[in-house]
């Protein structure tokens, strides 16, 4: 069982590095189950694979081309992997309607991913993006 939890943690690390940080679509397609559900998607947003890649490649990466993911901790049990991380970068592009600020921003994230056959099948998460957006709006 321990070997499988380590494999699952490696899948999540790969997703964070190759998909979130690098924007690699091939890796996304390899690591994402076609029936994936993002339980943390905003109300009315696509909670499937298309909504997930949209968040990274059409919202975050254009706003922060130097986007970096730093993983601080991972805990795995069964088919679940919990990761505490930061997504950071310099806001040189528009971010959800907020003009480029040139500021360094860090979004703290804790997420839980269910892995099945080496693929993301479910996601739950919390992050500080709403706080960051509020701060950026104040400084406009």
Domain hosting 111: range is 2-138
C-alpha–C-alpha distance, residues 82 and 4, integer Å: 14
**Residues belonging to the chain:** 140
Integer Cα distance of 12 and 31 in angstroms: 9
Q: Are 77 and 61 in contact (CB under 8 A)?
A: no
| Count of CB atoms situated within 10 Å of the CB of 138 | 7
CA torsion sign for 129, 18, 12, 42 is: positive
- Higher-confidence position of 140 and 53: 53
pLDDT in tens, 89-140: 999 999 999 999 999 999 999 999 999 999 999 999 999 999 999 999 998 8
Count how many Cα atoms sit within 13 Å of the Cα of residue 10 in the half-sphere of its side chain: 8
Residue 1 confidence (pLDDT):
63
Q: Are 123 and 52 in contact (CB under 8 A)?
A: yes
* Number of separate domains in the chain: 1
> Does residue 73 surpass a pLDDT of 80?
yes
CATH number of residue 30's parent domain: 3.10.450.50
Which pLDDT belongs to residue 140?
Answer: 81
pLDDT at 89: 98
At residue 24, the 3 state secondary structure works out as: coil
* 40 SS3 class: coil
Express each pLDDT in 2-32 by its tens digit: 799 999 999 999 999 999 999 999 999 999 9
């Amino acid at each position: 069982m321990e070997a499988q939890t380590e494999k699952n943690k490696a899948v999540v690390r790969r997703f964070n590095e190759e998909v979130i940080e690098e924007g690699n679509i091939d890796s996304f397609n390899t690591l994402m189950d076609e029936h994936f559900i993002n339980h943390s998607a905003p109300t009315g947003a696509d909670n499937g694979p298309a909504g997930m890649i949209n968040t990274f490649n059409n919202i975050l990466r254009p706003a922060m081309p130097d986007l970096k993911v730093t993983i601080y901790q991972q805990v795995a049990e069964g088919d679940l992997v919990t990761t505490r991380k930061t997504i950071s970068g310099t806001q040189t592009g528009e971010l959800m309607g907020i003009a480029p600020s040139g500021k360094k921003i860090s979004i703290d994230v804790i997420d839980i991913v269910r892995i099945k056959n080496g693929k993301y099948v479910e996601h739950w998460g919390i992050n500080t993006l709403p706080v960051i957006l509020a701060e950026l709006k104040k400084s406009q």
